A and B are shown apart, each in its own frame.
Chain A
């Protein structure tokens, strides 16, 4: 029994991550010792100028890539020495991705799109459908289950993508410029949805963005420059994304 619990265990615990790309003779130090802890239930933005290493960091945090050096614990699992297939399993169980360009399967129903990660979890068809339907209801698309992905509006497509990220009940959701391809109204709706999911269900969301508007809705903002974390602050005046209700 621990009696000194002040904070829960961090869901992301990264220490001195570096990433070096070799381009022939030349070396690119995309990350130069990034250290960060993220706790469950956070809503956080990683910001920085183009080429500062945001995507590199996100790929590592998302277990799509591995750091050259440093340690990374995700939800209690050391991932730095895992093989490809083990990483795939980690991504399946612990991470939900939301991309700028949605990345839905065309000519495939919303429900079936959301089901895809659960196929790789090895779930039976009935349970998959039930969980996918409830994930779609959670993003407000309970009446669009059988619509083809390419017949939905951009905002709706991104909601399907969010449902797909939610459906595995992951430890974190990584969203890379999720409003980048949306008009401002749909973008606001998506941010409202993220905020609501975060507040009501305690889902941990990490945005990777250079969009100040996204960051202003977050509780915490990490700034990165030249592969180093240069600022990590609580956003004192976090904006409410949901206008009505």
Chain B
């Protein structure tokens, strides 16, 4: 099992050295990039919207529940704590995990299908670097668009939190806004989330692509690869989240 893991890592790194090459034809690259942004990015907006609003609401309710025992804590502190949770962890990490499920399985199954139906061999025989041609647009699309999704999620999460706080009578809307603004440090709250968003985007794209691209066999193996893509991406995201949090907060 251990040797399997290291063999897999080796194959993954080798694949990435093939992926990050200058595209043969920029025009074709740009065309695929636009397609992938639509498929992997724009099509994920609705799920991110729903997820973020409810996530924000739940975080506010939880935080309010924890802090409401002590009458000395002003209610806008609830909002401040909610902001920290959402911007630092929930939006970048949870949204990326959900995207790993949606986008990761999509990438792995489409590349896996191309592999078993010999479309990848067809590209190679023509003399096309199939790894770069197929995978680079996907990874770049995710790296460009995931931060956009995360920023969106961040605002929607905060809005959802404020709405829930107001509707349930926990925190008045105005106080939430006030709390959100309190001691706001741009670097920690925004840049930090964006660094994570970018790193996770790379993980989702490259790990799922590896799973799909290296399929051998038929339709059954494509299904397995698609599951593997999600599991591996999620594990890698969780591990990277730990490392990044440690690295950024201690430096």
Chains A and B bind each other: no
B residues sitting closer than 8 Å to A (CB atoms) are none
A residues sitting closer than 8 Å to B (CB atoms) are none
